[in-house]
Amino acid sequence: MSSPETRSSQTEEPIVRLRNVSKEFPGVLAVDGVNLEIKPGEVHVIAGENGAGKSTLMKLLSQVERPTSGEIWISGEKARFHGPRHAQALGVAMVYQEFALAPDLSVAENLFLGREPARAGLVNRREERNRARELLERVGLDINPNRLVSSLTVAEQQRVEIAKALAIQAKILILDEPTATLAEKEIESLFEVIRDLKSHGIAILYISHRLDEIFRIADRVTVMRDGRIVDTLPVGELDEDKLVRMMVGRDIENLYPKAEAEIGDVVLRVEGITRGDVLKDCSFEVRAGEILGFAGLVGAGRTELARAVFGADPIDSGRIELDGREIRIKSPQAAIDAGIGYLTEDRKGEGLALQLGVDKNITLATLPAWAGLVNLKAERETAQHRSDQLNIRTPSIRRRVQMLSGGNQQKVVVAKWLETNAKVLFFDEPARGIDVGAKAEMFSLIGDLAKEGRAIVLISSYLPELLNMCDRILVMHEGQVAGVLSREEFSEERIVALATGAKEAAA
């Protein structure tokens, strides 16, 4: 913190200045007359709901998209549009949510892809490795640069992306929802790296949905809505309520409307589920009307446990009881027949058939058919009914789910599982990638389902979600159940202690 560059004065020339920038897609004004200045050494958060124009704004800055009008100044010079490579040359680096790494190349090769240290076309591998080591050190990553990117964890790959930005000597680093796939511990360590970069005068443009993070990392916050900037404020002048109001444009009373549900008998009892090294002797039970949370670090086995119960992955041993009767689940099909549903964490990759319509996705698990013939009328009615019930905003139930917003896509997945009449529903990160308004709606829906007497398991990496929504929280650590907390025992410290395997947690 005491290096000479540390104090970048706030009066300095901005690194990036946007003047009245607009971007129009056919029929949509995605970014509308935006004026914005980013100063060196600041963490500038862009907040806003999905569709607010954040991503488009980032694409304009990184020159993936050409602005329809307006000027972009970088380092005091007016930038001409020449595509992403040109933006990089100007010092603008972007880390996307889906990383742009080549999985089958090594870390070092990825870091210098397209600008290998070379002479006469021959890559100097030793220099490449040495420079890679330096860069990795700067982002706090202690790994062999010869390792293949595909062998790294998501958090490590993200660091490689950041190191790549350092390799091109970026002056401004754009991070698009960088914590979406990270666990709490990894988030803190990412923030350390960000603070270090900041102290070296690099500006960080940070897109996020998570309110708590904004207050932890931001210097200034710009809120966008409907393509326009609502306001830019120092973080000290904001609180959570004010921020949400600015983002949504209206008051949201409660993000986690937990309905009081009557808790009944045990519906699902799981005993001693074991699967290789991934799951070790996991047991739990969940009652009718109850919301049971699964907490833990990424990779602790929460998703794996849900998938094992759902029959998506084979298990080595273990017993599953539903309504007091033992059942054998060998496939998702068997689980669905028994009354268990699982809403995957990766909505697009595992939950939806994106090219099919809303209607066909809703009936995917319960296609009304007789002798192999689909009853199209019954299907249409079912889909329309669920679509109205869950308030899925789509111009038509035939619309491809690809075209819907994240929140509405998630509702389509929920509609599919409601249709199966499942008694037990696993929600795996149901709020990931959907905006604040849709989140409140999703949690209210989960509360209602519990109230109807369904047993709910809620998997989340975001503790406030679990602390507010759950009746009990099961904490996992390295494939084992580290503990189960009842509502009176809830505390962030306790959960983190159990999740990280700290000994005193047991006490």
Partner 1 sequence: MSSTATTTRERVPSALRERLSDAVSQLAAAGALIVIFIFLSIVSPAFLTANNLFNVGVQISVTAIIAVGMTMVIITAGIDLSVGSVAALSGVAGALTMVNMGFPTILGILAGVVIGAVAGAVNGFWVTVADLPPFIATLGMLTAAQGLVFVISNGVAVFGAPSSFRLLGQGAVGPVPIPIIALIVVALAGYFVLSRTKLGRYSYAIGSNPEAARLSGIPVKRYLMIVYIISGALAGFGGMIAASQVNSGQPNYGIGLELYVIASAVIGGASLFGGRGTVAGTLIGAFLIALIQDGSVLLGINTFYQQIIIGIVVWLAVYWDQLRRKKLQAESE
Which residues here bind partner 1, judged by CB under 8 A? 25-28, 30, 55-56, 310, 312, 331-333, 335-337, 342, 344, 349-356, 360, 364-365, 367, 369, 372-374, 376, 395-396, 398-400, 402-403, 416
Give SS3 for 248: helix
For residues 234 and 73, what is the distance between their CA atoms, to the nearest angstrom?
Answer: 22
* In the complex, least distance from residue 487 CB atom to partner 1, rounded to whole angstroms: 31
β 43-47/203-208 pair status: parallel
Kindly tell me which of 206 and 310 has the beta carbon lying closer to partner 1.
Answer: 310
Kindly tell me which of 278 and 397 has the beta carbon lying closer to partner 1.
Answer: 397
* In the complex, least distance from residue 305 CB atom to partner 1, rounded to whole angstroms: 15
Kindly tell me which of 139 and 404 has the beta carbon lying closer to partner 1.
Answer: 404
Asked whether the beta carbons of 270 and 296 are under 8 A apart, the reply is no
Asked whether the beta carbons of 179 and 210 are under 8 A apart, the reply is yes
* In the complex, least distance from residue 133 CB atom to partner 1, rounded to whole angstroms: 38
* In the complex, least distance from residue 355 CB atom to partner 1, rounded to whole angstroms: 4
Take residue 123 and report the two structure tokens written for it: 């890559």
* In the complex, least distance from residue 61 CB atom to partner 1, rounded to whole angstroms: 17
Measured in whole angstroms, the distance separating CA 27 from the mean position of its chain's CA atoms is 29
Take residue 320 and report the two structure tokens written for it: 């599953």
Kindly tell me which of 309 and 469 has the beta carbon lying closer to partner 1.
Answer: 309
Kindly tell me which of 8 and 405 has the beta carbon lying closer to partner 1.
Answer: 405
Enumerate the β-bridge partners of residue 340.
424
What DSSP string describes 313-350?
S--SEEEEEETTEEE---SHHHHHHHTEEEE-S-IIII
Side-chain-facing half-sphere of 479: CA atoms under 13 Å: 11
Asked whether the beta carbons of 366 and 420 are under 8 A apart, the reply is yes
Kindly tell me which of 164 and 360 has the beta carbon lying closer to partner 1.
Answer: 360
Kindly tell me which of 17 and 432 has the beta carbon lying closer to partner 1.
Answer: 432
Side-chain-facing half-sphere of 292: CA atoms under 13 Å: 26
Enumerate the β-bridge partners of residue 282.
273
446-465 b/e (C-beta count within 10 Å ≥ 16 → b): bbebbeebbbbbbbbbbbeb
* In the complex, least distance from residue 248 CB atom to partner 1, rounded to whole angstroms: 17
* In the complex, least distance from residue 293 CB atom to partner 1, rounded to whole angstroms: 22
Residue 160, by phi and psi: left (phi above 0), alpha (psi -120 to 50) or beta?
Answer: alpha
Side-chain-facing half-sphere of 459: CA atoms under 13 Å: 24
* In the complex, least distance from residue 466 CB atom to partner 1, rounded to whole angstroms: 23
Kindly tell me which of 167 and 415 has the beta carbon lying closer to partner 1.
Answer: 415
* In the complex, least distance from residue 69 CB atom to partner 1, rounded to whole angstroms: 18
- The radius of gyration of the chain from alpha carbons, rounded to an integer in Å, stands at 24
Measured from the Cβ of residue 390, the count of other Cβ atoms closer than 10 Å reads 19
Alpha carbon dihedral 372, 374, 375, 381, in 10-degree steps, equals 140
Measured from the Cβ of residue 475, the count of other Cβ atoms closer than 10 Å reads 26
Kindly tell me which of 129 and 386 has the beta carbon lying closer to partner 1.
Answer: 386
Measured from the Cβ of residue 252, the count of other Cβ atoms closer than 10 Å reads 16
* In the complex, least distance from residue 481 CB atom to partner 1, rounded to whole angstroms: 24
* In the complex, least distance from residue 219 CB atom to partner 1, rounded to whole angstroms: 29
Asked whether the beta carbons of 455 and 68 are under 8 A apart, the reply is no
Kindly tell me which of 422 and 475 has the beta carbon lying closer to partner 1.
Answer: 422
298 exposed, middle or buried (CB, 10 Å; 0-12, 13-18, 19+)? middle
Kindly tell me which of 201 and 430 has the beta carbon lying closer to partner 1.
Answer: 430
